[in-house]
Amino acid sequence: MQRLSELQLGGAGRTPVILQSEATECGLACLAMVAAHHGHLEDLSSLRRQFGVSQRGATLKTLMTTATGLALSPRAIRCEADELTRVTLPAVLHWQFNHFVVVTRVSRDKVTIHDPAVGKRQYRLDEVRRSFTG
């Protein structure tokens, strides 16, 4: 099976930080951030009731289905950390093999990440290369 390293959901606007309240809902929290970026303002508890969260967390397939249910147009792509400058932002990334985060800004050597577990963080590109599981 082809590894799909990130979920791209482009647009322009402000992306809020939405923190997960359960360890397994990072994917749903990421979609809530992207949806809010596009003007769909729903709180995480409403999304949890509407779409549910597995005890094992979200898969790429469930993220794609949920994103479509939020009237977003998701597209899964495979890329390397060095190619993030060409990705439409915000984008949901697979992180450290077991987590999802939202990348909101990419410059030549820094990447801004909204991590639903810890909040907004800025990483050097070499740090992103180690954590981005694409």
Query: Alpha helix (H) ranges present in the chain?
Result: 26-37, 44-51, 60-69, 125-131
The answer to whether 93 and 87 have CB atoms below 8 angstroms apart is no
SS3 129: helix
Closest CA to 73 of 8, 5, 4, 16: 8
**What does DSSP say about strands 6-8 and 91-95: parallel, antiparallel, or unpaired?**
antiparallel
Catalytic annotation on 30? no
Residue among 26, 29, 67, 91 flagged as catalytic: 26
Catalytic residues: 26
